[in-house]
Structure 1
Amino acid sequence: MSVEPLGRRTLAPLALLLLALVALVGCGSSSGGDDDGSGGPPPSTPSSRFAAAGTLPPVLAERPAPAIRLTDARSGEPFDTASLRGTPYMVTFLFVNCPDVCPLIGQEIREALEQMGGQAERVAVLAVSVDPRGDTAEAARTWLRRQRQPQNFHYLIGSEDELSPVWRAFYAAPQIAGDPESAHTAVVWLIDARGRLAAKVDAGTSFEPADLAKDMRTLLSE
């Protein structure tokens, strides 16, 4: 195959250092991803079109989203973003043993889907693992159950060789192996129904699920 305690979000010192370094290159908390996973895209800017997400810079806006071909931990079957043609979706990066940031991102996304009501069935969520060793299929399925995530929330796993191209393509720095604290990129990318990069939410700080729900409705209406 190819190609973050709840409520107030807390980040480990290493994560804060990572975010500070990323900010220096103008990428907020949503970047990482040159050859060693440490570079990043130009920053997004506030948007009148979206509530939670920021507008992407011209170099990224409406560019085709990178293809993702990994294993869906829930089904054990291959998952290809080509199957989402005509469906707006979100892409985020998680690991099951994350003590703070990932559970909160998961909760915020789930609450956004709940606020969308029946419209939620018309979108999808892809959570790409940043910890290929710890994110086994069984561990990911347990995380999905504990988070009470719906069937259209896909936890995608794979080997480091399979995941690395996805990390690079989405400017995502993976979790540092052996580090129990959150030290990876926190972002939610929004992809439109045509499979194009539409916006991104810098998820290093808490965002309102209602705003994310509004943003996904915007994509559904286009």
Structure 2
Amino acid sequence: MRRALALVMLLALGALVVAGCGSSEDSGGEGGGSGRFEAAGTLPEGLAGRAAPRMVLTDARSEQPLDTATLRGRPYLVTFLFTNCPDVCPLIGQELRQSLEELGPQAREVAVVAVSVDPRHDTAEAVRTWLRRQRQPENFHYLIGSEQQLAPAWRAFYAAPQVAGNPDSAHTAVVWLIDAQGRLAGKISAGQAFDPAALAADLRTLLSERDDR
């Protein structure tokens, strides 16, 4: 029953964005702007408002476990990256950094969680080098682990991992928005460039909803 439900959810997502590591072309997705959000699209019924999957993985920066349950109380973003990606992942990283910069002081009230899709090459050292090159702030968390440790996160967020040893393989390019109550709120198809200012506006919306409660 659980597997059947997961399949239904996956189909409900429609065209999940899959971007080759050598291309930033968007192969589909819901598009930005849902009325509530400027950048993120509306999630299908059954996903919207559902509790975001909990992840407990190693934060490469500190090499200590990060439990996403500890982020409850502030909005955060979830995306999937790998350090050897030549184009799409650096683009997503820069767009997310710029979104945080657009928030100004409010950026301290949100977080970014990137999950590795290449456990073989995304070592703590490689990720820290990537974070430095990307000039990512302290609240940009890049989670790593073994394939066995990461696979549940990939499945929970419908993410396709990078195929080891195949530079032409594809990985899922997407940014999920999680609200301050830890619920799935929206999704951006990130195979093509998106507007960091629009994502910053979406995060302000989530912050305002938190403050209204």
Residue equivalent to 2:172: 185
Residue by residue over 1:71-90, the C-alpha shift from the partner in whole angstroms, topping out at 9 and shown as x without a partner, is 00000100001110101000
Change beyond 3 A, Cα 1:77–1:124: same
**Alpha-carbon distance in structure 1 between the residues aligned to 2:188 and 2:18:** 8
RMSD: 1.8
The aligned amino acid for 1:47 is: S
Check whether the contact 1:192–1:198 (CA below 8 A) recurs between aligned residues: yes
Residue equivalent to 2:125: 138
Among 2, 9, 17, the alignment partner of 1:29 is 17
Check whether the contact 2:18–2:170 (CA below 8 A) recurs between aligned residues: no
Among 169, 175, 185, the alignment partner of 1:198 is 185
| TM norm structure 1 | 0.81
Check whether the contact 1:100–1:182 (CA below 8 A) recurs between aligned residues: no
Q: Superposition pairs for residues 35-184 of structure 1, below 5 Å? A: 44=30, 46-181=33-168, 183-184=170-171
| TM norm structure 2 | 0.85
**Alpha-carbon distance in structure 2 between the residues aligned to 1:79 and 1:206:** 28
Residue by residue over 1:3-24, the C-alpha shift from the partner in whole angstroms, topping out at 9 and shown as x without a partner, is xxxxxxxxxxxxxxxxxxx99x
1:208 aligns with 2:195: yes
Unpaired runs of 5+ residues, structure 2, are 1-9, 20-28
The aligned amino acid for 2:207 is: L
Unpaired runs of 5+ residues, structure 1, are 1-21, 32-42
Check whether the contact 1:99–1:182 (CA below 8 A) recurs between aligned residues: no
Q: In the comparison of the two structures, how many residue pairs are matched? A: 189
Structure 1 residue 182, shift from structure 2 partner: 6.0
The aligned amino acid for 1:212 is: L
**Alpha-carbon distance in structure 1 between the residues aligned to 2:172 and 2:142:** 16
Which stretches of structure 1, 4 residues or more, deviate above 4 A after TM superposition? 43-46
Structure 1 residue 181, shift from structure 2 partner: 4.2
Percent identity between the two aligned chains: 70
